[in-house]
Amino acid sequence: MKKIIDKMYNPTNTKLGLLVLRVTLGSVFMVHGIQKLSNMEGTIGFFGMIGFSAFWAWVVALTETFGGFAVVIGYGTRVAASLLAVILLTVIIYVKKGQGFMKEELDIVLLGLSLGVGLIGCGPYSACHMCHKGDCKTCASDGTCGCDCKSKK
């Protein structure tokens, strides 16, 4: 049992843990974005009911779909996760305000995930890391990647 616990909390698992967080967060948003895109008439109608134009319905649907995909594969992770966090803040403040914690809790959890992934970046198990590994033109002299993957030369 001690070996299992030691292995589970081994610092080398942080890379795998970030991958799990990225895939979870991105998948949730991709599914929500695809649902919105598959029924844009209903999405635009809902956005209109809460005071947002059709333009914002399209922006949110596309951001959730492609931003979610970017987070899953780990490319442009910081930007995509930050955009998803903005969407969630808007939902919490304008859409679910006053509905109580039970209606907001999933959005709060997704906001926390978005902020965390956005702060950490894509990590080593990502498209960004694979694309830049060993040949990143933006690498600093200390070998740290200038994009968000933090890979080493």
Domain range list for the chain: 2-121
- Mean residue pLDDT of the chain comes to 84
Euclidean distance between CA atoms 117 and 133, whole angstroms: 20
Nearest one of 99, 92, 126 to 18, comparing CA atoms: 126
Say if CB 129 and CB 151 are below 8 A apart. yes
User: Where are the extended beta strands (E) located within 55-106?
Assistant: none
* Cut 0.85: pTM above it: no
For 85-130, write each residue's pLDDT tens digit. 999 999 999 888 878 777 889 999 999 999 999 988 888 788 887 7
